[in-house]
Amino acid sequence: FLSQDDRRYFWGKGISKSGLDGLRKSMDHYFKAHFKESDEMNLGLAFHCRILEPSKYDDRFLYYHKLDGRTEEGKKQAKRIEKRKEELRKKNKYQKILKMDDHETVLGMEEALWNHPEAGPLFRDGGISEETVVWNNEKHGTLMKGKLDFRIPHEKVIIDLKTSSSAHIDDVTHT
């Protein structure tokens, strides 16, 4: 589930935190992406895209009500979905399929973020989304890289957008 830009970032020169995490486990983990796909992960990716790259959302995520392949309407909808997937493949775009409930959840999360008195203004404050930063670690002679979710240059603020199924402090605090 990597866009062209993501592929260039992850497989380009330099090492990222994700790369270092993989190396800590093994060389195999470094060279092979070990992402376990789940509905929760796709929901988080969809929310991330909806907030940080909204113009790409409809190219990256297909969403529809549950199909009933036994009905004429279900068969027509399945054909429309396959046609849309083929159009995206021809444009070298990628897509994930979201359940309609998950798509509606993403829209609700988006609305909640924009309406939040503190978070909403931060994301409307002229920031830069999905910015790649690169630097040399002189101590180790290594080219390092990172991808910032959102940076507000004039405020000197970097935001790492996360989702969680729980807002309990024990569930969202990690070391």
User: Is residue 74 within 8 Å of 64, Cβ to Cβ?
Assistant: no
130's CB contacts (< 8 A; 6+ apart) are 5, 52, 53, 147, 148, 149
pLDDT confidence band for 5 (50 / 70 / 90) = low
CA distances from 157 to 147, 163, 173 (A): 14, 19, 20
User: Which pLDDT score, from 0 to 100, does residue 46 have?
Assistant: 94
More confident residue, 101 or 80: 101
SS3 39: helix
pLDDT in tens, 119-136: 999 988 789 999 888 889
Indicate the burial class of 47 (C-beta count within 10 angstroms; 0-12, 13-18, 19 or more): buried
29-38, 54-63, 92-101: segment of lowest average pLDDT: 29-38
Residue 2 has pLDDT above 50, yes or no: no
Helix axes 100-115, 39-52, angle to 10 degrees: 40
Report which DSSP code applies to 54: G
Residue 142 has pLDDT above 80, yes or no: yes
More confident residue, 23 or 153: 153
pLDDT confidence band for 10 (50 / 70 / 90) = low
User: Which pLDDT score, from 0 to 100, does residue 175 have?
Assistant: 45
Mean pLDDT, the chain, integer? 82
pLDDT in tens, 30-59: 776 656 677 788 899 999 999 999 998 988
Q: Is the pTM of this model over 0.75?
A: no
User: Which pLDDT score, from 0 to 100, does residue 167 have?
Assistant: 76
